[in-house]
Chain A
């Protein structure tokens, strides 16, 4: 990265930072993330004369544009730097480290723009000292410390980071360090935790030594995201789910933080995202549905197992919803998403209520859309879209059928569970009244085995539901969203065609005016024509853009789907496997008892 002269190393914010990382490590779960990533406001890089790349296009273009700079990367490096710092120093003792972070920050700090002055900031990671110390090779020290546990927050679902092709959490730290070190040495290279021992080569700053992805802001983020650079976790709390975010991405103010969110907030987020023009064509994951019955039961305060299950189901669904959102490179960039994850208090999303004005409006627009879809048939120049649409339709139908069958499986298993429990009790009573002692004991043992089987069946039913059935339900909804994308494209086409026909009309009007010779109105007509011409070009561009986006999105979606299905299926089968193995153990324990009957 030193290769690009116009890049100034980012101001090292560490000097002004508190030590959230430490507290996280020490206390395990710090909700109030303090600002590690001071340059959370990327506009901070304004000072470096770099613009914030907001357009989605950048994320997908693989060329390393030196101008479209990953401000993130820079601040990232240093921030991660700081964080690695924390890792390092927090280990021995929590308190002293606070003091350790002295303001002997690196050179960048001097250049910190005003924006990088966070509120509470005292120290600088001593690692800077280490790095500046020529005897300490950058890599070695850190390896030891990279085994530190990620700050664990009490959550129920942790998406484990994997070093997939040398990307991963460790990668971030190392990258940061190496980048920092390399930068100062006038070289640019990345090293990742896995291939840290590889020989150094000078590459462009934006290529990983693994040679895989060009580390360009968007792609870098993508890499991080797809490998749990950003983990989103929901902790369990009825009707007020808290969203816990653990991230190494620089754009968030802190590394790990929670926020309380209501269900309507999730719906509101979805509404906002769907309405955005810039995200048109993207497959926005839909949130779980409202359920009047379920929520009423919970609200009424009934403690029965079905309402517990309902809350758990909703929690898991919301968690998957957020995971999907943050694994989408575009959506993660979106300020609304960030606001959702970060802000302490969101304004109530009232427009998600069914009986609100916005709700009615939505219904009306949906109806009108359906009508227009039926009336205006798009002449498809590209058969890919039509074919894909058909495929998606068929698939959705089949998934629905499958979901119905899996539902019935879940019900039958629950029934089996109940029947087994009842049978176990009856068997126990039978064993009690048996007068042959050995047989009596055997029958009681049988009753116990059946009891354990009941538990097994219960767990299996849970796994059937939460893994298999919910996977199918999610994808049914997602396929609906995919269809929505196609519809958006059709609508863009319609808009374009309408604009074209309006333009045509205006031109005809102008011709008429010319013929009728009314110079005053002519001027206006000409202006209107110009305006509409511009619109036509704009809409055409939009349409093409949406087309491209939809194509890309669909391919990405399919890949993700295959991955998702595979991992969920494996999880489901492994759960079944385990339960069968336990079953074997139970019966093997029973067998000697049965043989002992005399």
Chain B
């Protein structure tokens, strides 16, 4: 059964994914247009086809495609993060790993429970499962696409060399991927980062703006993380209910198949109704997931990126302060004063540059966030209304049918 579904997904050479949940349209800079028109899913791996259309001369061809895997995206992200020059920028968060865990679990359960269900029920559950697989798939494609598009629309990042390599390099990028040592280094860096968090909260801030931003972002991050988790649970309950409707409809069907009493008609109508209701309910669940949960999830990651920026700035400030101290010490000892001064000047410069760009980035981030929230909340509300109206129509129809009989 796994092979079946996988095969089905493999044959999904869908068109452009229609679901742009989180970001506003980023492809407004015609100099560099990126999209992911295709994707293949093999077992655990998803192969994306990154297609670029560009008018920039830095590229060899104006129109080209390359296959990429999820790990390649991660490499790109890490490369950007490690670049010193971009320390003052919010690096767009890396796309999360494609997670087919939940549909796969369900598939197992379905396979196990196959004997207890009727044929129709089984087919319906399978359809539902395939739809879910597809939804996860579309989501992951989109998230990767958004990542690239944010890079391409950023004035500085789009010119990054690594980015260009990513877009262009024909061969497999695996040679560039992390080996074990680098993985370990990455792990270590995470430790440092958490130490940074302590650092950042301890440091005294000279600038009000950053002070505010810091408190705000820290607080907001924890809250949004919490909300994301809760929203996920809520969406999952909705999905469970939609599944239950399938079972109810199927059981009602088998009930009235053998029924010869006048009750048969009632049961038939009810079974029909539940079948339609579950479709609506399923869509409610998936829309909610897309508009609300995804929104929260994305901005959670984005805020993490913003926090990272603040950490970098804080570190720069620490460096600057340290250099100040070093300078004082040097002056005291009357040794190496010019180096210390130079060092201090550099630190100051770096810090100032960082602060400036950070300010810009954070302001634009705020604006971006508000716009995205607005768009998604409006869309979610509209979808909820639409689905509820559908439900009302279905229910009213069934009630009328029953009453008239």
Contact = CB atoms under 8 A, between A and B. Distances in A.
Contacts of B395: 573-574, 576-577, 580
Given A405-B247, A426-B223, A594 B374 contact: yes
A386 interface: no
B230 A591 contact: no
Contact of B377 (A416, A435, A446): A446
Interface residues of B, number: 55
A419 B237 CA distance: 8
B190 interface: no
Interface in A235-274: none
B216 A435 contact: yes
A467 B349 CA distance: 73
Given A402-B251, A409-B248, A595-B378, A569 B270 contact: yes
B337 interface: no
Contacts of A433: 216, 219-220, 223
B237 A415 contact: yes
Given A402-B251, A433-B220, A561-B263, A587 B392 contact: no
B216 A398 contact: no
A389 interface: no
Interface in A367-424: 391, 394-395, 398-399, 401-402, 405-406, 408-409, 412-413, 415-416, 419-420, 422-423
Contacts of B231: 423
Interface string A557-591: 01101100110011001101100110110011011
Contacts of B403: 570
Contact of A566 (B233, B378, B388, B402): B402
B263 A401 contact: no
A420 to B, nearest CB: 6
B147 interface: no
A509 interface: no
Contacts of A591: 378, 381-382, 385
Chain A, interface residues (CB within 8 Å), range = 35 or more
A426 B227 contact: yes
Contacts of A566: 263, 266, 402, 405
B234 A420 contact: yes
B273 interface: yes
B364 to A, nearest CB: 14
A443 B373 CA distance: 9
B384 interface: yes
B138 interface: no
A460 to B, nearest CB: 10
Contact of A573 (B240, B245, B260, B398): B398
A569 B266 contact: yes
Nearest to B280: A580
A429 interface: yes
A416 B216 contact: no
A573 B377 contact: no
Interface of B: 216, 219-220, 223-224, 226-227, 230-231, 233-234, 236-238, 240-241, 244-245, 247-248, 251-252, 254-255, 258-263, 266-267, 270, 273, 366, 370, 373-374, 377-378, 381-382, 384-385, 388-389, 391-392, 395-396, 398-399, 402-403, 405
Query: What 10 pairs across the A-B complex have the smallest Cβ distances?
Result: A416-B237, A562-B262, A423-B230, A597-B374, A594-B377, A409-B244, A558-B261, A577-B395, A562-B263, A412-B240
17 contacts: A402-B248, A408-B247, A412-B240, A558-B261, A558-B262, A559-B262, A562-B262, A573-B273, A573-B399, A573-B402, A574-B395, A576-B395, A577-B396, A584-B389, A587-B381, A591-B385, A595-B374
Interface of A: 391, 394-395, 398-399, 401-402, 405-406, 408-409, 412-413, 415-416, 419-420, 422-423, 426-427, 429-430, 433-436, 438-439, 442-443, 446, 558-559, 561-562, 565-566, 569-570, 573-574, 576-577, 580-581, 583-584, 587-588, 590-591, 594-595, 597-598
Given A412-B237, A436-B366, 10 more contacts: A426-B226, A430-B224, A433-B219, A442-B373, A565-B267, A570-B403, A573-B273, A577-B399, A581-B392, A597-B377
